[in-house]
Structure 1
Amino acid sequence: MDQDFKVKLLEFVKLALIEDVGEGDHTSLSTIGKSKGGEAKLLAKEDGLIAGVDVALEIFNCIDSSLQLEVFIKDGSRVVYGDIILIVRGNIHSILKAERLVLNVMQRMSGIATRTATYVDLLKETNAKVLDTRKTTPLLRFLEKQAVKIGGGENHRFGLYDMILIKDNHVDYAGGISSAINNATIYKKDFGIDIPIEVEVRNFEELNEVLACEGVDRVMFDNFIPEDVKKAVKLVKGRLVTEASGGITLDTIKDYALAGVDYISVGALTHSVKSLDLSLKAKLI
């Protein structure tokens, strides 16, 4: 876990606890003695790929550093119903304070990792790689993109600041592909910004216009059918990194990969994923 990720995580935990705990967990405070100890097992309630174990450890530690954790299944591992992922032991109030946050995070991350792995598995015999998008939950993007990586996918740009991605609206507002690219290259030079430029194209006319310009690093074929992607890749001739995007599903992703594209971006990795069912079962000690 790199330092930037950890800083984001600690801030997230702080805000999440303010939202959830507020002035206090009155249910636990009113029913259980403050000094009582216990343990809880984190269990898989369905088959899938686990993600967020390292994050859960940080959450538990942030809430109560005296909690003892025993991990049995690491991030990126397959689980089946009934598997014990980890056991936490210590103050019951601390365990219960962490319970929902840990479950919410791990269930969402594991659902994303599981779905990503399904897409990745379909591309094993190809050179294409699966990318995520910015179609993420606000303020949870760092966790969701981490889950994509755990599932075997790769991250596209994190936000609006680490890549110039010229999409259809930018093209239309700028007055065309060439104008948008020219403006972007001048902007990079004027401000000394060293980030790549990618351009989304909707047809072969726009692709040819991109190929006539300098300064572009990657081209995205938006809503092209696989046959047209194959033609487009041949036109590019390795001059640019290629990416296919737009409505690509489990049924069609391999056809896009076999068309020779370098990357395939799939918004469904994060925007409509089903969480993996997990539970935390308590036991007095």
Structure 2
Amino acid sequence: MTPRVLEKIAEIMDRAPTARRTVLALILEDPQRVLDETFEMLARRANSSVPTIMRTCRDLGYPGLREFKLALAQELAVGGSPLNRRVRIDDGAVQVIAKVTRGAVAVINNVQAQLDVKAVEAAADAIAGSKRIDCYGVGVTSNFMASDLQARLYRMGLATNSYLDPHLQLISAATIPPGGVVMAITHVGGMPSLLEAVDVARSQGATVIALTQPGSPLSSLAHIVLGVEVAPDPVMPVGPEAYLAHLAVIEILTVLVAQRLGDKAVDRLVKIQHTLETRGVDMQHHMKLDWGDAANGTTGTPE
């Protein structure tokens, strides 16, 4: 039987160099926190460096940081709920609420720590200055993100579309003009069909922005990378924490784009809001619906 992560740590703790022993002690002390934070954050807590963290992972038998986190996440999931790696099967409602919300806070804090300010600003500049923005997604989660971003940009007056089908993504990429923007959203960042579409868009002279995890195949093809990494989910290929991280980035990007578009975007958003409030299906005060009888001219409500 292969030793588990925490067992391996106990085995090598005594003979590890001082700096690595400190890292190992922090992992043992609160393994869930290690999953929630970036390796840069762990290195700061250990008064160490990321290379030291990497060497520690190799001491434990893992070739890289991602493999170590995946193994740790799978170990912590044992005995937990099949829906959330933080929750144990016997936790009460109070514990479930506390653990899930605490995890959400940790994810958002990690987005703030990881997001490259210059990359976000460059992405906002490219989108605000482009005459066409095409959003690509892969899978249920990323498709929702791509559609959500497209709707946000469209409301601000930008010419934008979302393409979720691989065939349509290729058509989009083949027709996007120089100066256009392709926003590719996928946490895993390795779907071959998406990579093909992005490669075609690059050849057309489009700017490719990728919302994905650092080091993914997609990130190597993008001009601008909005890199966000979350702890691997042992239950789902893309877990709910990735949803939260991507939604936070999309909200940040939307606000920055609106700032660059200025009064024109603000006026348009105000007009849309007013129209929806007074004439839309989601208006707050609905008019009474009366059914008229065309034959005798009477009105009333149906039984």
TM over 0.5: no
Query: Is the helix fraction higher in 1 or 2?
Result: 2
**Scaled by the length of structure 2, what TM-score is found?**
0.29
TM-score, reference length from structure 1:
0.30
Greater RCO (CA < 8 Å, at least 6 residues apart): 1
